[in-house]
Amino acid sequence: MQNTLFFAAAFLYAACALLPSRRGAVISGVTALAWLVHAAALGSAAFGPGSLRIGFAIMLSAALWVSVAAYWIENRNFALDGLRRLVMPCAFGAALLPALFPGAVMAVESQSSAFGWHVAVAVLAYSTLTIAAFHAVLMALQETRLHARTATTGGSGWFGGAIDQLPALLTMEKLLFRLIGIGFVLLSLTVLSGVVFSEQLFGRAMRWDHKNVFALLSWILFAALLAGRHWRGWRGKTALRFTLAGFATLALAYVGSRFVLEVVLHRGIA
């Protein structure tokens, strides 16, 4: 059933990407419908009776699900049609991933009720900061295109046109730090719950394995970025570097390790 929902969501995302810009009301409606179908697909795939399905595909799919929500909400305040042309094709691919790589099922009947909240907040934190990293890459491409001296620099054709339709860099920067702020709060809750309730959540004391080390390092990088933004006015390339570095360490902590286990080594959750 969930695969049918994933395919339906992917179809709706593709339709939304292909709709002409002048059909604003239709685009908004199709986006909302696709988002709801995608949410139902993720819910049915990830949560079962006494079990939880976790994998890199579901986490990436959830990241793009949050990205679509952010686009839909912010599009009511800013003209983000160029962002639609970039987000929707990515959401199309992300909606299909869980059908191809379903991940592994973990029994949670014996786990504390706090475990579900810990996992949910962790997925939301990763999803939000994934969007921030994607947003930072778009800003870098946009800045390169603005400073270009030739017609071909920074991309051309469909992709270049989408970059040209993005909001002004200052607006994009405001959106970036809004995403980072939300993601940092969620990541802080994830790290805190992992440290304070480790025994209750996982049945063992806190371990300094690669996942915890990289998650903490990512938290430090995003904390430094937000502090630098507040006290030193960091922006531009400095903000982009910290955002991408923080996301890279977070990816190594979660999705990177799951991808290696599931796709490269063909192993489930230990």
Q: What is the pTM of this model?
A: 0.74
Query: Tens digits of per-residue pLDDT, 59-69?
Result: 788 888 888 88
SS3 of residue 210 by DSSP = helix
Q: Is the pLDDT of residue 232 over 90?
A: no
The model's confidence at residue 21, banded by pLDDT at 50, 70 and 90, is confident
Query: Hey, where are the domains in the chain?
Result: 1-110, 112-270
| Residue 193 contacts residue 117 (beta carbons within 8 Å) | yes
* Two structure tokens written together for 94: 């992300």
**pLDDT over 90 (residue 207):** no
Task: Kindly tell me the number of DSSP H helices and DSSP E strands found in the chain.
Answer: 11, 3
- Integer angstrom CA distances of residue 6 from 11, 22, 36: 9, 27, 11
**Over the stretch 79-108, which tens digit does the pLDDT of each residue have?**
677 778 888 998 999 999 888 887 767 666
